[in-house]
Structure 1
Amino acid sequence: MELPEPIIYNIKPTKLIPNSPKPLIHYKGCFLRDGKVDPVLAYDTFKSNGWDPQWVTRYGSHQRSHYHGQAHEVMAVLSGPGAIRWGVADLDDDSDKHTYGGANEEGSLHMQANVGDVFVIPAGITHKNYNPYTASTRDATCLTGDAHYIESEDPRKLVGELPLIEFTMIGAYPTGSTWTWEEGGDHVGRYESVWNIPNPVRDPVRGDQGGINKLWRYNGRESNI
């Protein structure tokens, strides 16, 4: 696979969300074969670079904005398109209002998530993954178990056999890390504890050839945002 060049987004903290001094990294056109994503290639690439795939999820029309305060994350779009909103907290419990009605902090980054997109997400950057193009109002559905590991004797084979329709992504985390779900306000007053989560050894897409090795240099004393 030809290694794509990264696109970076610097997302500053808000009153409720730590976000990160490390940039969100976006790779386009990954894992494509004949115009479609090869999910096994995505799985193998992440594994070979020290990131464990733990879920494949199909997204519905809503999701709560959240972040991971104890682990970095990588997500790859297997089918789509869908939508992702980055960087801000929800300000209302009504799912229609916080997803479509603007009931969120100001300063969000919105983007369409297309097939072959990969997002390398530092701990603390909030995201909302949803499908505005579906008629379904269902919540996200994990296709592989409880989303903390792929429930199969052969996870690689299962990933290759899943039906990929609508907006589906695969997610992985650095080997040995444990992810948690946090929402706005959970780390107010202690953002540094999220920013100082150690960097993985290898970039999930480019391995030793750039990516986080060059772009994630925050050391607790200086910031690139």
Structure 2
Amino acid sequence: MPLNRRRFCTLVGFMPLLALPRWSFAEPREVAMEILHITKPEGGVPNSPLPVVIYHRVIPPDTVDNASYLEHLFSANGWPPQWRYGVYAFTHFHSNTPEVLGVFSGSAKLQLGGAKGEIIEVNVGDVLLLPAGVGHRQVSADDNFMMVGAYPPNVSADLCHDEPSKLAARTKAVAKVPLPQTDPVTGHSEGSMLLWRNAAAAANDK
């Protein structure tokens, strides 16, 4: 998979909002939510005390443009969309930012947490919210699989590989990443905002 996916976002991520019909605008939503705890390091992947949050059926059934819907939902909640693509086939993570991934086409199997991590299936309308440090890779996908990716404002995400010799330094970097100000799907106080703040408080009490 090419590594220049952010160039693609220059073409699709910043289209003038006023040119879009009203149905394409998204608002914070209450949706089904799944939680995965991937707390232990694996190889050179730090993972995180914060849970992975998976939102299901985020895209309403009558949506005309799935990708634009997710981009406007994320943007409205303070997570500027950065790219449209799939997921790299090698284990990687970000040590300086959380990441949100929204499936707008197709389906795939992803491995979370590192080489021995859990494999999950994602489909259209699923949104994964990954804390900084959580490893992920694409195991398989159909030909239509595509996602919208976004990060908190003013962040340039790094790209870290599974390198055990760098685990200590990257674990420290992950621990310094601030909690985001908003949840990309639900808005200000629900979802990851509640879960991540509680998990961070519990980790600090240990």
Aligned to 2:168: 189
Q: Which moved more, 1:18-27 or 1:1-10?
A: 1-10
Code of the aligned partner of 1:57: Y
Aligned residues: 173
Spell out, residue by residue over 1:186-206, the C-alpha distance to the aligned partner (whole angstroms, 9 max, x if none): 641131320330011100000
Aligned to 2:7: none
Q: Distance in 2 between matches of 1:197 and 1:8?
A: 20
Question: Cα RMSD (Å) of the superposition?
Answer: 2.1
Say if 1:37 and 1:79, in contact at 8 Å, map to a contact too.
no
Q: Distance in 2 between matches of 1:133 and 1:43?
A: 22
Alpha carbons of structure 1 residues 131 and 215: separation in structure 2 relative to 1, 3 Å: same
Instruction: Report the alpha carbon displacement of residue 120 of structure 1 after superposing the two structures with TM.
Output: 0.6
Unaligned runs of 5+ in 1: 89-103, 135-165
Q: Distance in 2 between matches of 1:24 and 1:80?
A: 21
Unaligned runs of 5+ in 2: 1-26
* Structure with higher helix content: 2
TM-score (norm 1): 0.70
Q: Establish whether residue 30 from structure 1 lines up as the match of residue 40 from structure 2.
A: no
Q: Distance in 2 between matches of 1:86 and 1:171?
A: 16
Q: RCO greater where, 1 or 2, for CA within 8 Å and sep 6 or more?
A: 1
Alpha carbons of structure 1 residues 70 and 81: separation in structure 2 relative to 1, 3 Å: same
Moved over 4 A (4+): none
Aligned to 1:53: 81
Within the candidate set 77, 93, 110, 1:67 is matched to 93
Say if 2:107 and 2:141, in contact at 8 Å, map to a contact too.
no
Q: Establish whether residue 4 from structure 1 lines up as the match of residue 13 from structure 2.
A: no
Within the candidate set 115, 131, 141, 1:122 is matched to 131
Q: Distance in 2 between matches of 1:203 and 1:41?
A: 16
Alpha carbons of structure 1 residues 116 and 36: separation in structure 2 relative to 1, 3 Å: farther
